[in-house]
């Protein structure tokens, strides 16, 4: 039962996780479970040795799943469906790993992947894992500058890229973006491996670029390289409050144990099930629930290169579920809002047989009660909100369907998952009362699979998450726990925003706006959006004497953010104002700005240096609303 399991995971973490670790095939069984010798740096299974790719592929082939489909590639944008068995996937991965090795990639080397949603993205991730190399996938929607920042931090030996991505009906050429990133970056990889898609054949740089097929065809298959449980499997950059993203590190051992445990226990998904996470491999959901958890479990995973709407219609998700007999779907609430907007009555559902579907899991942003109700009425299966982050790698709060399904309270992600001791603290680090909103924290140690540190930056890891309240991991989210122990997550308390399930930093956007030669200062805040949950809104103050047309500057600013961060930032509106509201010590009052834009009551802070400016912001926001 849930309460008992949760209690045991906290009272006896060693026993609890040692048992979970039995589901993993170790080269050297760990004798240490929780290594708490160097707090606040906790490590799991520190003397264990394994290979993650072996656990995801080889062992299943050896144990009778060779002919089971491991991956279904469903791509409405290229009109392709491909079913790849475990044996075939292993062959492709071993071959590509051999190719990477021939380029000098070894244990501990970094490999950046800039890939669309094609099987080669999964092959490249697993090939790195096979060699003990550390992959770092960069989401295809990020612009060259963001890619360059990640290249300079991870310092990859090799970069693997697809020649293009396809956004509904638009071909986005990735190779020119990669070339520009390499012009910006100071670190240069030895080689770039390019997977040529027929939709856009990339021009190769002689001596540096290598063709994927030629490399894999010429390579000898590589065997699994044994790594320590604590060796990094991947780095995934995520938005923090500054313009420099955080390189979240994931280890091999704890990750394999936690993800293998999570699929049956949280998602109620068993070996052999067909499981679909409709995300992108560039995000943590893609890492954990398109690639690693389903393959570690011996499931069939669906890799979908399409959107919830427009590829070709709002019945796209139902088509995939019925074509492939999907038993559990995971997606962001924004995807359902997009479907609902185009098909409010849910008519398209009636064209498909959805009898295989047992549950729908939603995360990435708050599941608002309206979307919950709509999805629940439409599909007639449990709709499960669950909360987690890139940092955790797997759910922190959920309704653990595989342990004990609990009553759903719309607006709440239900209860802390075993392994997580979730607390709500006030600004002083003290626990708040039942039902009172505060900062969502997790008492240390975090369970296996969560971030052990930030890439080569232990200090930033401690500063960002652990130093505010010693003994606790601070999530950056606000929320409350009710009298029944249900946790509700209300949104970020920092300058991170969530746009269509994509985590973005307003600080990064501010850094771009501030670079415009006519801009004296600026602020970017997140505002509510019916489809995307939140979108950014920029405010700029122009330099004295600038006489150019404000509209022209605004469109330049929008374009700059698109070019430097990526279209995915979705910054479409920038307001020119005379001054920013600030405290007397010069701190920008973003919270007040957010309240004004949201039309909420707010208190004028006593520390404000000039309250009149708030009226001006109210006026410009009214003009903005009237123009919509």
Q: Which stretches of the chain bind ligand COA, using CB under 6 A?
A: 140-141, 165, 167, 172, 279-280, 283, 285, 307-309, 331-332, 334-335, 338, 363-364, 500-501, 567-568, 570
- What does the buried/exposed string (b/e) look like for 472-498 if buried means 16 or more CB atoms within 10 Å of the residue's CB? bbbbbbbbbbeeeebbbbebbbbbbbb
Residue 73, SS3 per DSSP? strand
The token duo for 198 is 């027929």
Q: Which of 441, 422, 439 is nearest to 486 (CA)?
A: 422
Per CB under 6 A, the segment of 290-298, 388-396, 425-433, 563-571 that binds ligand AMP is: 388-396
Nearer to ligand AMP, 165 or 286 (CB): 286
DSSP-derived letter for residue 376 is: H
Per CB under 6 A, the segment of 116-124, 364-372, 578-586, 616-624 that binds ligand AMP is: 364-372
Burial of 22 (0-12, 13-18, 19+ CB in 10 A): exposed
CB 397, min distance to ligand AMP, A: 8
Instruction: Tell me how far apart the alpha carbons of residues 443 and 451 are, in angstroms, rounded to a whole number.
Output: 14
- Check binding of 286 to ligand AMP (CB under 6 A): no
Instruction: Tell me how far apart the alpha carbons of residues 446 and 496 are, in angstroms, rounded to a whole number.
Output: 22
Size of the chain in residues: 628
- What does the buried/exposed string (b/e) look like for 178-206 if buried means 16 or more CB atoms within 10 Å of the residue's CB? bbbbbeebeeebebbbbbbbebbebeeee
Instruction: Tell me how far apart the alpha carbons of residues 593 and 271 are, in angstroms, rounded to a whole number.
Output: 50
Nearer to ligand COA, 147 or 519 (CB): 147
- Check binding of 282 to ligand AMP (CB under 6 A): no
- Phi, psi of 343, deg, nearest 5: -140, 70
How far CA 476 is from CA of 145, 441, 464, 494, 546, in Å, comes to: 26, 8, 9, 6, 38
- Check binding of 146 to ligand AMP (CB under 6 A): no
- Check binding of 280 to ligand AMP (CB under 6 A): no
- Check binding of 387 to ligand AMP (CB under 6 A): yes
Binding-site residue total for ligand AMP (CB under 6 A)?
22
CB 332, min distance to ligand COA, A: 4
Instruction: Tell me how far apart the alpha carbons of residues 242 and 246 are, in angstroms, rounded to a whole number.
Output: 9
Residue 503's binding partner out of ligand AMP, ligand COA, none, with CB under 5 to 8 Å set by partner kind: ligand AMP
CB 503, min distance to ligand COA, A: 9
Among 161, 177, 489, 508, binds ligand AMP (CB under 6 A): 489
Per CB under 6 A, the segment of 26-34, 249-257, 301-309, 471-479 that binds ligand AMP is: 471-479
Residue 201, SS3 per DSSP? coil
Nearer to ligand AMP, 13 or 240 (CB): 240
DSSP-derived letter for residue 367 is: -
Residue 165's binding partner out of ligand COA, ligand AMP, none, with CB under 5 to 8 Å set by partner kind: ligand COA
- Check binding of 197 to ligand AMP (CB under 6 A): no
- Check binding of 416 to ligand AMP (CB under 6 A): no
The token duo for 296 is 């570690």
Per CB under 6 A, the segment of 35-43, 87-95, 143-151, 381-389 that binds ligand AMP is: 381-389
Residue 326's binding partner out of ligand COA, ligand AMP, none, with CB under 5 to 8 Å set by partner kind: none
Per CB under 6 A, the segment of 23-31, 425-433, 456-464, 475-483 that binds ligand AMP is: 475-483
Burial of 78 (0-12, 13-18, 19+ CB in 10 A): middle
Nearer to ligand AMP, 465 or 539 (CB): 465
Nearer to ligand AMP, 92 or 386 (CB): 386
The token duo for 524 is 């970017």
Among 55, 390, 399, 506, binds ligand AMP (CB under 6 A): 390
Which helix (H) or strand (E) segment holds residue 261: the answer is helix 253-265
CB 108, min distance to ligand COA, A: 29
Is the N-terminal amide bond of 463 cis, ω within 30° of 0? Answer: no
Q: Which of 585, 505, 567, 589 is nearest to 168 (CA)?
A: 567
- Phi, psi of 326, deg, nearest 5: -65, 135
Among 9, 75, 322, 498, binds ligand AMP (CB under 6 A): 498
Residue 172's binding partner out of ligand COA, ligand AMP, none, with CB under 5 to 8 Å set by partner kind: ligand COA
- Phi, psi of 113, deg, nearest 5: -115, 125
CB 361, min distance to ligand COA, A: 9
For residue 481, the cross-strand partners are 487
Residue 55's binding partner out of ligand COA, ligand AMP, none, with CB under 5 to 8 Å set by partner kind: none
- Check binding of 450 to ligand AMP (CB under 6 A): no
CB 505, min distance to ligand AMP, A: 11
Q: Which residues bind ligand AMP (CB under 6 A)?
A: 238, 283-284, 363-367, 385-390, 413, 475-477, 489, 492, 498, 503
């Amino acid at each position: 039962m849930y309460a008992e399991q949760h209690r045991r995971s906290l009272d006896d973490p060693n026993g609890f996780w040692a048992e979970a670790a039995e589901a993993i095939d170790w080269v050297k069984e760990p004798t240490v479970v929780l290594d708490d010798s160097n707090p606040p740096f906790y490590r799991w299974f520190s003397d264990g040795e394994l290979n993650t790719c072996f656990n995801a592929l080889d062992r299943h082939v050896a144990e009778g799943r060779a002919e089971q489909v491991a991956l279904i590639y469903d791509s409405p944008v290229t009109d392709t469906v491909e079913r790849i068995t475990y044996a075939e996937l292993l062959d492709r991965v071993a071959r590509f790993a051999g190719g990477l090795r021939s380029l000098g990639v070894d244990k501990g080397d970094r490999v950046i992947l800039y890939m669309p949603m094609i099987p080669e993205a999964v092959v490249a991730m697993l090939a790195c894992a096979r060699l003990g190399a550390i992959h770092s996938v960069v989401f295809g929607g990020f612009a060259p500058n963001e890619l360059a920042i990640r290249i300079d931090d991870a310092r990859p030996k090799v970069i693997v890229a697809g020649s293009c991505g396809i956004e509904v009906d638009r071909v986005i050429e990735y190779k020119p973006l990669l070339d520009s990133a390499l012009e910006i970056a100071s670190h240069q990889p030895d080689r770039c491996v390019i997977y040529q898609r027929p939709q856009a054949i990339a021009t190769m740089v002689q001596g540096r670029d290598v063709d994927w097929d030629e490399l894999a065809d010429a390579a000898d298959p590589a065997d699994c390289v044994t790594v320590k449980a604590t060796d990094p499997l991947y780095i995934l950059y995520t938005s923090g409050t500054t313009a420099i993203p955080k390189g979240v590190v994931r280890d091999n051992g704890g990750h394999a144990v936690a993800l293998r445990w999570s699929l049956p226990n949280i998602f109620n998904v068993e070996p052999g099930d067909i499981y679909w996470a409709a995300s992108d491999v560039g995000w943590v959901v893609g890492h954990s629930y398109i690639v690693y958890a389903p393959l570690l479990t011996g499931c069939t995973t669906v890799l979908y290169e399409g959107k919830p709407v427009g590829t070709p219609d709002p019945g796209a998700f139902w088509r995939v579920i019925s074509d492939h007999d999907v038993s559990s779907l995971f997606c962001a609430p924004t995807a359902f809002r997009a479907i609902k907007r185009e098909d409010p009555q849910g008519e398209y559902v009636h064209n498909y047989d959805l009898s295989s579907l047992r549950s729908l899991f939603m995360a990435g942003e708050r599941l608002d009660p309206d979307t919950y109700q709509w999805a629940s009425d439409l599909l007639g299966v449990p709709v499960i909100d669950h909360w987690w982050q890139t940092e955790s790698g797997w759910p922190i709060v959920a309704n653990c369907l595989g342990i004990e399904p609990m009553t759903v309270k719309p607006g709440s992600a239900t209860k802390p998952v075993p392994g997580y001791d979730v607390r709500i603290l006030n600004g002083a680090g003290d626990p708040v009362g039942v039902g009172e909103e505060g900062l969502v924290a997790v008492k240390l140690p975090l369970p296996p699979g969560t971030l052990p540190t930030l890439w080569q930056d232990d200090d930033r890891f401690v500063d960002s998450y652990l130093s505010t309240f010693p003994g606790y991991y601070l999530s950056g989210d606000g929320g409350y726990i009710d009298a029944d122990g249900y946790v509700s997550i209300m949104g970020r308390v920092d300058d991170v925003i969530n746009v269509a399930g994509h985590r973005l930093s307003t600080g990064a956007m501010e850094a771009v706006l501030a670079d415009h030669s006519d801009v004296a200062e600026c602020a970017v805040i997140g505002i509510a959006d019916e489809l995307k949950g939140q979108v950014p809104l920029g405010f700029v103050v122009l330099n004295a004497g600038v006489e150019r047309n404000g509209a022209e500057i605004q469109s330049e600013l929008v374009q700059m953010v698109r070019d430097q961060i990526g279209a995915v930032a979705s910054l479409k509106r920038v307001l020119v104002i005379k001054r920013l509201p600030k405290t007397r010590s010069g701190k920008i009052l973003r919270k007040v700005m957010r309240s004004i834009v949201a039309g909420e009551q707010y208190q004028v802070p006593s520390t404000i240096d000039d309250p009149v400016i708030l009226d001006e912001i109210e006026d410009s926001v009214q003009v903005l609303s009237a123009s919509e």
